[in-house]
Amino acid sequence: MKFYVIVILFISGLSHAASQESAAYVPGLGEIMGSIQMRHAKLWFAAKGENWPLAAYELDELKEGFEDAAKYQPDFKGKPIAEMIGPATQKPLAEVAEAIDEKDSLHFVKAYDQLSRACSSCHRSAGRGFIVIQRPTTPPYTDQRYDARP
Ligand code: HEC
């Protein structure tokens, strides 16, 4: 009798461990947005430092953040996030990419403000109008050189 109890406990332990391993980790939208926010801030300082390859890199990472949002959180509390991202961000992202290509600081600043407005506007559409995005005033990390030109 005791033996059966032990076997059952052992098997249920195994299956519990297996189910925990198979439960894939899915990042929340707030979490993904946090990393988008970090890229958004770094992007500003890279362009300010005229480190255009770094700016291009941060922009790519930012876009990957949006891809993650569409992939992991396509529907967020009834809002079709995956479908909202393209219309909201395509144009300003393309403007920013163009400015980086041209190494044009003035164009960059205009495009960057457009992007920040697009961020805030999607927040409004998603019922998060209190999350407002603007130009950063301090680098998010100070252990990385934004002006280091290769
Ligand atoms: C497709 C719509 C959409 C776009 C575009 C968008 N966001 Fe968001 N963002 C959201 C939603 C929805 C939330 C709320 C998530 C939650 O409540 O968990 C959010 C939350 C946030 C937060 C709050 C996270 C926190 O922990 O404080 C920040 C910061 C943020 N977004 C930054 C940005 C930035 C920067 C951009 C533009 C580069 C951007 N977002 C573009 C939909 C969007």
The pLDDT assigned to 102 comes to: 98
* Contacts of residue 129, Cβ cutoff 8 Å, sequence gap at least 6: 120, 123
Residue ranges of the chain with pLDDT lower than 50? none
The atom of ligand 1 lying closest to the CA of 77 is 12
The pLDDT assigned to 32 comes to: 98
Joined together, the tokens standing for residue 97 give 């990419």
The pLDDT assigned to 20 comes to: 55
The pLDDT assigned to 57 comes to: 98
Q: How far is the CA of 59 from the centre of ligand 1 (A)?
A: 16
* Contacts of residue 146, Cβ cutoff 8 Å, sequence gap at least 6: 42, 45, 46, 48, 49, 51, 54, 139
All structural domains of the chain, each given as residue ranges with its CATH number in brackets, are 29-125 (1.20.120.290)
Radius of gyration of the CA atoms of the chain, in A: 22
Q: How far is the CA of 31 from the centre of ligand 1 (A)?
A: 9
